Each structure stands twice: as C-alpha cells, then as structure tokens.
Structure 1
Amino acid sequence: MSMATLTIDELKSQAKRLRDAMAGSGTPVSHGAALELVAKSHGVRDWNTLSALAARSDNAEAAPAAVGAHVSGEYLGQRFTGCVLAFSRLSQSGYYTITLHFDEPVDVVTFDSFSAFRQRVNATIDGKGVSPRQTSNGRPHLVLDL
C-alpha cells in the first residue's frame, strides 16, 4: 500500500501496533516516538511530514507538498528538481504558499542574449500543485509533478 493511499488513522494504528510490539519485547516507547518511527519507516523525516502526505480519511484534500519533501516540476517553462523549504495553507482557501530550493539553478529567461538564474523561489499553488499565476502565453508559473 503506498503512502498516498494510507490514511492518518491507518498510520496511527501502525504506530500503536509498533508501540505494543516494542513494549512486549521489553523496549517500551512513547506514542510520539512510535509515530516518528513509523514516519522513518515510510522514508520521510518526521511524523508531521508523513501526516501531511497521507490520504485524509475525512475526504479532505491532501496537501500537494510538505516541508522537506523532494519535488520536481516546471518553473517558468523549465524543468526542475528541488526541496520544499516552506509550505503553508493560505487561510481557508484551496491555495498554499511554497518556497522551493532547486537542486540546480533554473534559467528563467527565454532570450538567447542573456540569462537570469533562480535557485530559490516563492509561489502560490492550488491543491493540484499548479500556480494560478500565468505567463503571457498562458502557462502556469509553477507546476509540481504529483
């Protein structure tokens, strides 16, 4: 079962089973420590990251990214890979602010006569990882591969 199909409740249940198994073998751990171990077992840095990436059992839209996640996509028409440095929901809207640090700087100028490289960018995206802002040719500024 992939992480995207696991719900928060299923992940918490994994942590409870882990905690019970470890206590049974004479190595008790707190519930919080068990949650952190479950997150590591799924290859993410901590419980907050895992819970942000997990499917929601209440049918709410899952966030398209999380702090620390390695993502890829297109920024101003250029392919990139990078790390999410900051991520937060904008109030009660369906939009998020995201700060990305690209693995390699991206040339955001399409002219041959000069270049302008960006390695850290801030953007607004929707729940599908697409920026509502567009370039003059109608393409979104940022599109995450989800």
Structure 2
Amino acid sequence: MPSNEAAKALAKRLRLKLQEQGTCISHGQSLELVAHQHGFRDWNTFRAAISDRQAVDWKPGNRVRGAYLSHPFLAEIIAVEALQSGWFRLTLELDKPIDVVRSEDFSNLRKRVTGVIGPAGRSKEKTSDGFPHLIVEAL
C-alpha cells in the first residue's frame, strides 16, 4: 500500500489525467477512486489503514528477517537506496546461504540478495505461484 503522501499524489495525478481527457472530478472524488483501487470502501477507511503503518527506517547494519523466493532467511542490511516514497532497494547479507533453484539436478546458493521492496516490505515481482520475490521485516 502507498504512504499517505503517495496516495494523495496518486489522486492528484488521476484527477489531472482525467481532466486532460475531458472528465472533471473533484479532488475528493479522486481520493475516493484511489481508495477503491486499493480495495477500500472509501477514502477515510483507506486513510486510517495507511496511517496506522509505521515507516521502517532501513539502515545498513540493521537486522531483518524475511523470505526470498519463498525461502526464509535472517540477514543484515548491507546497502540501502531510497527510490521513491516508501520504496527501497536493499542489499542483504544472508546469515545462511539459500538455494534459489527448485531442481534436484543442480543448485544455486545465494548468500547476498538485492531487491526492491515497497511500504509493506514486499516486492512487486512475484513468483509463478503468486508469492512476492522478496519479503523483508525489521527485527
């Protein structure tokens, strides 16, 4: 889910885009549409859900846990790059290598992983069975 600021920016861009196409709506209506796009019944409910989230301060040296390609891990953050509001590229040094191949014929052990995560600590990219490539949460 986006942050409060990102949700408002989405609503503003939506309103401007619709206006360019000849459909004028109020800012309040665009906020409602953004809330509906994220599965909420109205803006107030959506706003309450996103304001309850606490921003994680990703820093090198912090310990995290999570899953990479559905393999659980414990790791240390090696590098952080802020991309846009709520989105970060993290490089993680895993405590124990994980095998990222599901074949019995060969393996590929990974000790270091880099991925982009959003405000919920999950990547946009998903495996073929629907799980995010990377899930990270602070310890």
User: What TM-score, normalized to structure 1?
Assistant: 0.54
1:144 counterpart = 2:139 = no
**Counterparts of 1:60 and 1:78, CA distance in 2:** 25
1:89 counterpart = 2:90 = no
**Counterparts of 1:107 and 1:60, CA distance in 2:** 32
1:127 counterpart = 2:127 = no
1:70 to 56, 60, 63: 63
**Larger RCO, structure (CA 8 Å, separation 6 or more):** 2
Letter in 2 for 1:144: V
What SS does the corresponding residue of 1:74 show, helix, strand or coil? strand
Letter in 1 for 2:64: V
Deviation at 1:95, TM superposition (A): 1.0
Alpha-carbon distance change, 120 to 131 in structure 1, aligned in 2, over 3 angstroms: same
Alpha-carbon distance change, 90 to 115 in structure 1, aligned in 2, over 3 angstroms: same
Deviation at 1:63, TM superposition (A): 2.7
User: What TM-score, normalized to structure 2?
Assistant: 0.57
Corresponding residue of 2:94? 102
**Counterparts of 1:128 and 1:67, CA distance in 2:** 19
What SS does the corresponding residue of 2:56 show, helix, strand or coil? coil
Deviation at 1:64, TM superposition (A): 5.4
Aligned length: 88
Contact 1:61 1:127 survives alignment (8 Å): no
Letter in 2 for 1:108: V
Root-mean-square deviation (Å) = 2.2
Deviant stretches of 4+, over 3 Å: none
What SS does the corresponding residue of 1:115 show, helix, strand or coil? coil
